[in-house]
């Protein structure tokens, strides 16, 4: 009896021991299999983070389990957005430096000309000074626009009840005497929106500046403010050169200028409309550009009416 009991205990101990050993090994295997995709994703993320200088490549996403697959895809979307932002910043810096280099080179060239030939040929001085004046003004405008843009990027304006009819009327009347165009004001009274008056004025002036620049002097410019379907629509319409369909979205990008021989003769930096777009967004509006008939453009901004 005692011998059989001891044998039974030994057999039970061996079975328990083997089961425990196998169970532990199996649990390890299962845990490793389950966490492998997570570990792979963590490794990929760490490798990608190390390359912070270069554009972040996207991660290789495990197909299963579903949660890790979705997490990987979400990471990739974040990385793509980040890459696009980085690229935009790089383009911005390189465009800004390119745009600034041109007037600086012109100014330096003319200063050297005066230094070298000013004594013997004083007649070059007034012409060179005019050139320096013009180019330094261009530089000043460009820097001001860049500052506007960076402020608009970070700005959080305080929105309050504004009478947009009064603001538009006031700008229209002040602006007309300074341009060679006839201005037609068509403003519904007492239209209120939730906005910021300084930035709203800046938007209207920028659109009128463009209408003035990109249309012939003998054509009228229309500034209108209408209550349409309980929204407030502000439009600036000209009879100018118009904007080709494929470039209508692009003109709101920084430094973008429509490339035609005619528009190239007109001075500008390609920053005005990107500032306008930022400011419209700050005022919770939307902006679009449409064709005017028989020609020219309509810049239309829509705000919520209050």
Q: Does residue 212 belong to the site contacting ligand ADP (CB under 6 A)? A: no
Contacts to ligand ADP from residues 28-57, by CB under 6 A = none
Residues 79-118 contacting ligand ADP, CB under 6 A: none
Q: Which residue in the block uniquely carries the two structure tokens 């205990």? A: 9
Name the segment binding ligand ADP (CB under 6 A); options: 35-43, 52-60, 73-81, 235-243: 235-243
Rounded CA-CA distance 162/158 in Å is 11
Q: How far is CA 261 from CA 73, 125, 258, 264, in A?
A: 46, 31, 9, 5
- Which residues make Cβ contacts (< 8 Å) with residue 220, sequence separation at least 6? 181, 182, 183, 184, 239
**Does the footprint of ligand ADP cover residue 241 (CB under 6 A)?**
yes
Determine the Cα–Cα distance for residues 272 and 209; give it in Å rounded to an integer: 9
Nearer to ligand ADP, 148 or 285 (CB): 148
Which of 222, 235, 269, 278: binder of ligand ADP (CB under 6 A)?
269
Name the token pair of 129: 């000074």
CA dihedral (186, 187, 189, 194) in degrees, to 10, reads: 160
Binding-site member from 251, 279, 280, 301 for ligand ADP (CB under 6 A): 251
**Minimum CB distance to ligand ADP smaller for 125 or for 241:** 241
Among 167, 203, 208, 273, binds ligand ADP (CB under 6 A): 273
Residue 47 tokens, joined: 């490798």
Residues of this chain that bind ligand ADP (CB under 6 A): 210-211, 214, 238, 240-243, 251, 256-258, 263, 268-274, 297
């Amino acid at each position: 009896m005692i011998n059989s009991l001891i044998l039974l205990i030994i057999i039970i101990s061996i079975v328990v021991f083997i089961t425990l050993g196998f169970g532990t090994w199996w649990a390890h295997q299962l845990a490793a299999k389950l966490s492998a995709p997570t570990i792979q994703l963590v490794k990929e993320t760490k490798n990608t983070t190390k390359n912070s200088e270069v554009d972040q490549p996207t991660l290789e996403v495990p197909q299963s389990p579903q949660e890790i697959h979705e997490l990987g895809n979400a990471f990739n979307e974040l990385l793509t957005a980040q890459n696009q932002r980085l690229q935009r910043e790089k383009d911005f810096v390189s465009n800004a430096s390119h745009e600034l280099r041109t007037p600086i080179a012109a100014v330096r060239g003319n200063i050297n000309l005066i230094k070298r030939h000013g004594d013997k040929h004083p007649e070059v001085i007034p012409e060179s000074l005019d050139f320096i004046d013009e180019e330094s003004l261009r530089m000043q405008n460009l820097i001001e626009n860049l500052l506007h843009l960076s402020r608009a990027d970070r700005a959080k304006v305080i929105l309050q009840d504004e009478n947009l009819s009064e603001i538009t009327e006031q700008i229209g009347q002040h602006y007309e005497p300074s341009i060679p165009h006839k201005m037609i004001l068509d403003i519904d009274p007492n239209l209120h929106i939730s906005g910021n008056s300084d930035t709203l004025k800046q938007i209207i002036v920028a659109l009128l500046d463009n209408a003035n620049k990109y249309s012939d002097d003998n054509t009228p410019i229309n500034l209108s403010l209408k209550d349409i379907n309980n929204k407030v629509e502000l439009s600036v319409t000209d009879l100018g050169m118009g904007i080709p369909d494929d470039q209508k979205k692009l003109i709101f990008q920084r430094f973008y200028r429509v490339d035609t021989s005619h528009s190239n003769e007109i001075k500008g930096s390609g920053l005005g409309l990107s500032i306008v777009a930022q400011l419209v967004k700050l005022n919770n509006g939307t902006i679009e550009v449409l064709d005017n008939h028989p020609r020219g453009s309509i810049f239309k901004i829509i705000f919520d009416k209050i």
